[in-house]
Structure 1
Amino acid sequence: MFFCSEATFLAPRRRTHQKGLISMNAPLTSLFLNPGMVANLGVPNILSGLPPTVELGSVVEGFGQAIEHAAPNYFTDWAESARRLQELLQRGGTPEKFQRLQSSLSGIIDELGEDELNAVLAKTGWKPSEQFLKDRSPVKIETTMAYVDATAGVVIHELAELVAAESVSRPGSKTEATYDSAEWIKDRMTDLGFKDIILLEAENSNPSVFGQIVVDPKAPTVLFYAHHDVKPPGGEWKQVDPFKAEVHNGRLFGRGAADDKAGIMAILSAVQAYQDAGLKLPVNVAVLFEGEEEIGSPHLDKILEVLKTRVQDFQPNVVVTCDSMNMKVGLPTVIASTRGIADLMVTVQSVAQGSHAGRNSYAMDAYQAFSALIYNMIGSYGELYVWGLTDCAPEIPISFRKSLDKLAELITLDELRDAAHMSHDANFLVPREEPTVQDVLGHTWRGYAMKILAVQGAQDIENAAGMIVPKVKTLIQLRIPPRVDSVQAALILIKTLQEKAPKGVRVDIVVAGEIVDPWETKIDGPAANALLSALDMGYGREAVLGGSGGGIGFLSIIGKHFPEATVLPIGTEDPLSNAHGPNESVAIENVIGTARSIVAFLYNISRRLG
């Protein structure tokens, strides 16, 4: 943006000159105005018509003020890049650093919508060149996204082929069908020109597929994650074969269609679009398609260790995971937080042994004892209430509150009930007498919840006798909001369960499985803003920030191995997808919208981080 053949930018003068740095004692004409450099960087020339000499700092500041007024969503990114540029102007720096920062600033202007750009230009008084307007990223992105639209039928056909691989994953054993889906993906990646394609495995694991396209070792790298394993079909399906995809009313039905084979196809379709458009990818692209997500990613930690051994110095700048849910069909959503999980096996014993239920009806049976125990932790509106836990849950961040207000205009309480298969007169388990959409979603994303997943007693219904049941074993699951220590939360619940037990009742508790920490990502950085902007373009409507009431274990594992990367979850699912249940489906417009958004994101992130 700040390359201008008609202007000489003067930097503040310095008394010293450090070896290897650009001297600040002369105008930066050679740095800022080199036409060849401009062509190589692909940075648009927006500031044509500047006076012959202008101080760069004042230009940056002027545009910053205009952006804050006309396009506030972009101001945080602008201010940070401008601050770093001003620091370089003060102390000096290499040409590469100046180029990167100017490219970042240019990219922000480049992404502005038509109305935003016009407002910024009106406030600053500058007039963009015709070439800049012609080369603006929305124009390039629209051209490339059109190739996604043109091949939508092929994409859905290939998704049906991938659904046909019955890649069910099961704990403790390999599934041969996951090799079928992995090989299908590997062949498709080969067609697209991916290199370093590897089937990653650990001992007794299903295969995960990795590959990358490196366009420039110095360019940013984006890693896309999805998974190709699926849950067993289960339940009663309307179609004869859950693995033979069917299309009805704009949705493709089949096991794994939404969770998560559509995510894989959206990623590959975006790469295909760049090839069809005759363009090289703007950044380095890597993919990791896991084969065990549906059983908790038990080997992902080891698989990522193997990956870093096989592909030296692999460190992505951004990780985009395509395995989450849009808040509504066609409403693009970035999931910015998930809740943690602690499963507890709770055994309640009310009497030493069973006895006659009539003659000894004054004694409490184990089911009654368990019910009384749970009742003691229920608040006024059916929500979980545990002193020292739920009464001091973290505040909902302002960014989430804004998103909740936006969603309240788009989603009704009855739609939330429908998503949970509730009747329309059912109450919500949130601490409000008359909850709003904001209350329900806010509590789901950022509050505590406890569910009883399983109960085992001494008798089954068919063979039940008139006996006081002495002991019952239950599996309880605690959902833990972001910014809370999951282990400490589990310990508080365990202590409360033991203290709230009816007198004379024994309660034994053990932790079942691993405790999963809550997760939260940075939502005000350049990567998140580039993705939100891309989703706006890809879906043709404004994207929203969301949370997940569930826990996504692989996010923490990925974050541990790539601590410098920004991790951003998106997906193709919606409340109608019924993932894990019968009649799973994905909206075709979500698949295409996500693919289009990835096209735009690759271009956006190249400008923000390039």
Structure 2
Amino acid sequence: MEKALDWLGRHHEDIVRGLADLVAIPSISTDGEHRTEIDRTAALTVDQMRAAGLNNAEVLRVGGSLPYAYGEWLDAPGKPTVFLYAHHDVQPINFVEQWKSDPWKLTRRDGRLYARGAADDKGAISAFLGAIAAYRQTVGSLPVNIKMVVEGEEEVGSKNLMKFFDTHRDRIKSDVIVVCDTENIEVGLPCITYSLRGVMTAQVDVTSAKIPVHSGMGGGALPDAALALNAVLGKLYWADGKLPIPGYYDSVRPMTDKETAATRKLPFDEAALRRDIGIVPTAKMAMEAGLNEYEQTWRRPAVTVIAQEASSIKGASNQVLPKATALVSCRLVPDQDPQQAFEQLAAFLTADAPWGVEVKVTPHGPPVTWWMTDPNGPAFEAALGAMRAGFGRDPVAIGCGGSIGFVGPLSELFGGAPALLMGIEDPASNAHAPNESLHEGDFKKLMASLVRLFDGLGKLTPERVK
């Protein structure tokens, strides 16, 4: 292991150049216009897998899916098999004017590596391959077996991922799952995530008429669909209490006293958050009274209006609009059932419609169920020990307000395999936003932690990792 750690230090610039090559390709999956670029990143990832020392590296697809990169190393008989997951597709470049450097050129600045995909999630590809190469280029072998999948459509909901897992279930079968697509809550503090919120999205359509009417003729007399939609959405306003949806919290699992006490020991700088996001001085935080930011975002339901349409500003006309639509994203927590949550939301939003307009609520895409595990057992102990040594600081087990839909089903597919979600981002990473970046010091520490994790897991048998 020491030779592998030494190799990481001596070859860090090579690893960074590999990451630079990955982020230089605009593999945007959300607009359907970058399939060529996504093909190129999959091919490059396969090339980098081979260079790192993985075998049988190839591009795989299922049906009409975007490409997956797959590689393996299976020459450690009797040792656990570790499944590594990352994704090579990225979000588009929004608010271009706010980027301080070329989003497709990895740029060092103030101890960080800036580029679209640097943190989410091409940095994870480089971290995994760096740890693998550290062993393969020194001692020639790994202490565990490796199967690595890098997906090409995570940013569009991983719509083919479960089909991919089912199609290749025998090929990918593993004992432990490792994912680096979550956050450390502050720079230098290693975090392992043991809970994820689920997500369910509803489309809300309001109809008041078949055609628009000149506002000089109908304004004040006809029901305004756009205004009615906002009145409907306004019913969700929760001030500093619970969401006012009847029955919505009946199945929400309370945090234990131990969990609550743990979250309240964690560092959180509200002033820094407000400054970094640019929250206007008059705006208040929206947490339920008595809860902190972690309790609220990890273990409480949330609703967010993520899109709204009635007419465009550019095409605005003096009309009473007949139709308006919104998407409401709902974050779900243990033990909420997505279907029940949808039905409760729909009943609440359709009741007592303004002016009696028609309000229709329908599912917008499939839901993702919440996930939670017990962060104990041999695999978690190996991960926590590796992170403690790699970061030089005691790691903490945390929740995550986001969703990674495949973790629970994949763990079940592998017969209850432990899922280790090791943080790569931090609050300043700005994933999905302008000036996305990866903290270079934490990047180094994560790779050192992965080297140590492989060593720790290699001291266990496949039967003893759970």
TM-score, with length taken from structure 2: 0.90
Q: Is 1:440 matched up with 2:297?
A: no
Which one of the candidate residues 200, 205, 228 is aligned to 1:342?
200
The Cα offsets for residues 432-456 of structure 1, whole Å up to 9 and x where unpaired, read as 1xx5xx6221111111111112222
Structure 1: 5+ residue runs without aligned partners?
1-140
CA change 1:215–1:522 in 2 (3 A) is farther
Which 10-residue stretch deviates more, 159-168 or 510-519?
159-168
Shift in Å at residue 215 of structure 1? 3.2
Q: Aligned residue for 1:389?
A: 248
Deviation at 1:386, TM superposition (A): 1.3
**1:205 aligns to 2:65 (yes or no):** yes
Q: Look up the SS of the partner of 1:546 in the other structure.
A: strand
Contact 1:326 1:332 in 2 (8 A): yes
2:429 to 554, 568, 577: 577
Distance in 2 (CA, whole Å) between partners of 1:187 and 1:465 is 54
Residue 248 of structure 1: CA displacement? 0.7
Checking the alignment, whether the CA contact within 8 Å between 1:383 and 1:429 is kept in structure 2 is no
Deviation at 1:156, TM superposition (A): 1.3
- Equivalent residues in 2 for 1:139-288, closer than 5 Å: 144-170=4-30, 175-236=35-96, 238=99, 241-278=102-139, 280-288=141-149
Question: Per the alignment, do residues 542 and 522 of structure 1 end up closer, same or farther by CA in structure 2, a change over 3 Å counting?
Answer: same
**CA displacement at 1:557 relative to structure 2:** 4.5
* Structure 2 equivalent of residue 412 of structure 1: 269
1:501 alignment partner AA: A
Shift of the 270–362 alpha-carbon distance from structure 1 to 2, 3 Å rule, reads: same
Change (3 A) 1:469 1:266: same
The letter of the residue matching 2:117 is G
CA shift in 2, pair 1:296/1:379, >3 Å? closer
Which residue is equivalent to 1:89?
none
Query: Equivalent residue for 2:260?
Result: 401
Q: 1:322, 1:571 within 8 Å by CA — same for their partners in 2?
A: yes
Give the whole-Å Cα distance in 2 for the aligned partners of 1:593 and 1:292. Answer: 28
1:319 aligns with 2:171: no
Q: Give the match's secondary structure for 1:282.
A: coil
Letter of the 1:372 counterpart: A
What letter corresponds to residue 585 of structure 1 in structure 2? S
- CA 1:220 to 1:230, structure 2 compared with 1: closer, same or farther past 3 Å? same
- Which residue matches 1:367? 226
Equivalent residue for 2:327, pick from 468, 475, 478: 475
Any conservation in 2 of the 1:328–1:574 contact (CA below 8 Å)?
yes
In the alignment, which of 586, 589, 597 is matched to residue 438 of structure 2?
586
Partner of 2:151: 290
Q: Supply the distance in 2 between the matched residues of 1:389 and 1:500 (Cα, whole angstroms).
A: 19
Structure 1 pair 188–216 and aligned structure 2 pair: CA distance change class (3 A): same
Partner of 2:320, secondary structure, is coil
| Deviation for aligned residue 1:504 | 1.9
- CA RMSD of the aligned region, Å? 2.6
Aligned to 2:313, the other structure's residue is in SS state: coil
Structure 2 counterpart SS, 1:422: coil
Partners of 1:422 and 1:222 lie apart in 2 by 42
- Distance in 2, matches of 1:328 and 1:500, equals 45
Is 1:331 the equivalent of 2:183?
no
Q: 1:454 aligns with which of 307, 311, 315?
A: 307
- Matched AA of 2:255: I
Distance 1:421 1:391, change over 3 A: farther
Q: Is the 8 A contact 1:337 1:445 kept in 2?
A: yes
1:119-139 alpha-carbon deviations (Å, 9 max, x no partner): xxxxxxxxxxxxxxxxxxxxx
Shift of 1:294: 1.5
Residues 323-381 of structure 1: CA distance to partner in whole angstroms, max 9, x if unpaired? 11211222211121111111111112356765565775265522332233233332342
Match of 1:545 in 2: 397
8 A contact 2:85–2:148 mirrored in 1:
yes
Distance 1:464 1:383 in 2: 36
Q: Is the 8 A contact 1:501 1:507 kept in 2?
A: yes
Q: 2:101 touches 2:107 (CA, 8 Å); kept in 1?
A: no
Shift of 1:588: 0.7
Is the 8 Å Cα contact of residues 336 and 520 (structure 1) preserved in structure 2? yes
Please state which structure has a larger fraction of its residues in helix.
1
More displaced 10-residue stretch of structure 1: 349-358 or 417-426: 349-358
Q: Which of 466, 471, 485 pairs up with 2:337?
A: 485
Partner residue of 2:283 out of 406, 418, 426: 426
- Contact 2:240-2:287 at 8 Å conserved across structures: yes
Counterparts of 1:444 and 1:296, CA distance in 2 = 21
More strand by share: 2
Q: In structure 2, the residue corresponding to 1:581 is in which secondary structure? A: coil
Structural mapping, 1:486-501, within 5 Å = 486-501=338-353
Sequence identity of aligned pairs in percent? Answer: 32
Q: Does 1:299 align with 2:152?
A: no
Cα pair 1:338 1:519 within 8 Å, conserved: yes
Aligned counterparts of 2:246 and 2:253: Cα–Cα separation in 1: 14
Given that residues 264 and 292 in structure 2 are in contact (C-alpha distance below 8 angstroms), is that contact kept between their aligned partners in structure 1? no
Which amino acid letter does the alignment assign opposite residue 156 of structure 1? V
Assess, with a 3 A threshold, how the Cα gap between structure 1 residues 439 and 170 changes in structure 2: closer, same or farther. closer
Cα 1:414–1:142 shift into 2, 3 Å:
farther
Specify whether residues 278 and 491 from structure 1 end up closer, same or farther in structure 2 by C-alpha distance, changes over 3 A only. Answer: same
Q: Deviations over 1:156-196 (max 9, x none)?
A: 12211221233222466871222322222222322333223
Amino acid corresponding to residue 280 of structure 1 in structure 2: S
Give the drift of 1:228: 1.3
* Cα deviation, residue 143, structure 1: 5.7
Tell me the SS of whatever aligns to 1:179: helix
SS at match of 1:475: strand
Aligned 1:512-591 pairs, distance under 5 A: 512-591=364-443
> Given residue 271 of structure 2, which amino acid in structure 1 is its aligned partner?
D
Q: Secondary structure at the match of 1:589?
A: helix
